[in-house]
Structure 1
Amino acid sequence: GLADTALKTANSGYLTRRLVDVAQDCIIVEEDCGTTRGITLRAVVEGGDVLVSLGMRVLGRFSAEDIKDPATGELVVPADTYLDENMADAIEAAAVQSVKVRSVLTCEAKVGVCGACYGRDLARGTPVNIGEAVGVIAAQSIGEPGTQLTMRTFHIGGTAQVAEQSFFESSNDGTVRVTGATVTGADGFLVVMSRNTAVSVLVDGKERENYKPPYGARLKIKDGEKVKRGQRLADWDPYTTPIITEVAGKIRAEDLVDGFSVREETDEATGIAQRVIADWRTSARASDLRPAMGVLAEDGSYVRLANGGEARYLMSVGAILSVADGDMVKPGEVIARIPTEGAKTRDITGGLPRVAELFEARRPKDCAVIAEMDGRVEFGKDYKNKRRIKITPEVDADGNQGEPVEFLIPKGKHI
């Protein structure tokens, strides 16, 4: 026990030292650097409840641009104004949704940071003085609880929350607006078909809530419908990501070879047998398989999707099949489910290693590949055991077209 404490102190002291080393040159050097840049702040909303109001978040900062009343358009707070308690209350009263404020992240001072980008000195409750060593204060503030954080994560303290949510409810009476791609499922509910679908609740024409339902969520409301407070807007299964067909037709299984790319598994809890996509790249004979589910029209060809592509859905390792070869499907039906990691208990003593990891640029394992630009996706020729994806940018207004970008993605990833 004593040895553990000694090690913990050393480790946490080293974290503090590294933090001070990088942050020590952040000193308030001037009153105002004159930048127009800033960051946009919104209220912190989790599960429909407002945890931190917008007024609390902007308190003690400087506004980066004019803040106007969204209903009347009249000026509430001019740009470059110190937001004290009265200003924060005025912003709350005007029901402003988001505010652009100055931030040290966007400060343009040549050395150090400026007073307007830093804002309030929390020790005195006044705008910060020139010469304050704010970098060292920040580093010490992060390092100070290091000795109290546990090195291992089995001590749970504070309020433990299970970070899993499976529905949205409206917290206002109002009108619903649905934007983004949806398809009407067999049971009459809308099914979310894209990652940028948004559901917002408008009160007197002003947006009061905005939700981002995940892919495959079922929306319990239609666009333009009136909702009451507490009414369920959408729900979904938090433990699996579905693969959904947008079109109707007959299922054709491709490259689903028993023993290579598919295996039967019996669920221990329910005793129901289910077919799961196995890792087909491990055996040499099956390495060029591409397990997929196609949706066929009556003449035996692939049904065309709205974007012109074929209705073929590639299956990733670990996906659980919900339909079999030859089944008829309707739009919005789930053809496979990919299990996601179960709920992790989050709490305050997440442990020092988690904090230290944020400051070291480690390569994350199993990370996502994100598109660098807008454009059309094409699948190129495969390279060894990687899949080649090419993104061609759209032609812009001047008739210019950028260079296409290629990504090589390992075969087992779900695309």
Structure 2
Amino acid sequence: MIGKGSVGKSLDDKVFAITDRAKKAIEIYGKENVINATIGVLYDDNEKLVSLDTVVDTYRNLEVTDIFSYASEIDGDSLYKEAVRQIVLGKNYKDDFIGHFTEVIATPGGTGAIRNSLKNYLNPGEKVLLPKLMWGPYKIMAEEVGASFDTYEMFDETGKFNIKDFKNKVVKLLKEQENVVIIINDPCHNPTGYTLEINEWKEILKFLEECSEEKNIILLNDIAYMDFSKRNLNEYRNLFKNLLENLLVIFLFSMSKSYTCYGLRAGAQLALSKNKNVIDEFLDVNKFSCRATWSNISRGAMALLSQIVLDDKKLENLSLERNRYRDMLYKRAEIFLKESREIELKVFPYRDGFFITIPIKQDIEAVVKKLESENIFVVPLKNEIRIGLCSISIDKIYGLSKKIKQSIKE
């Protein structure tokens, strides 16, 4: 009965299945005896969901109409869009990006931002270029819009970004299709926790500018975890000034991680270009897509963000709160990485963020099964396992790398 374009589509989400097994183990053995490293949200050291006081207080004090009314515009309320501009490009973006044009489209989470971007910049049958180590839903979103994907290796033999393979894959797509759409998940890459160095970004952008002289280049920078990195934001923002007009940058913003409000489902696309026609076109097609799919997003979520970001005192309080939890993550990572080095457990390069990933050369299903027999639940990837540092209390971090190493050896 379904249409031909939907034949064969079904969702097999292994993460949710493993999380369910972890929950059952907790019911049987007690929370203190189970390590659930599958969860992708931030927990404190009592393993309770983190909620930021500034966010909670602001939301509770919203006007009823701000929570229950429709958004004022399909593409998002004006104050929300201004807040997104200030978050991504800085408070002084109007001065810092003179001669540039921007537009913001409000979306349901970062997922909506990704979906809109793939839908409107990939031609049917084209491929989006993704990191080989990636957040899995990128792939099914490409499939959903009638596209497919190719991948670039994340790391070279020195543990740096594999610029050589990245360039090779971009050149390959240049020969095959009209538009080259690329996703770079940075900072705090999911699943490795890698954050690009500024010099690595410079080389990427210089190369993409050269490529844009041949074809349209659309760079999607997934910044869902941006506030959990210690990167110098001014250095990062300066990278995107005065790029060639045929290189369009779309920042994929999400409220979920930085504001710990995963269920409100609020995000945005922010497009930046020196070509006004490109930005006008971006607004038109993505606004159309919004109306054709979710119509508009939660007015309450938009009011929440704008009331915090556009209020200097609230924003300062939020930053202080968030930085404490960011430091908590660094402490967890520091312990895990130190113990891993001591026992020579190989880990992909980590700098910031929620996750650490470990390469597995052995039978990955056997490794995962062995860990689960000890009530340690992780997310298996293709030839890797992902550890959600974000959800493990610090006392359970101690000794975890040793248990993983033992499971790999067996």
Length-normalised TM-score, structure 1? 0.20
Higher strand share goes to which structure? 1
Larger radius of gyration: 1
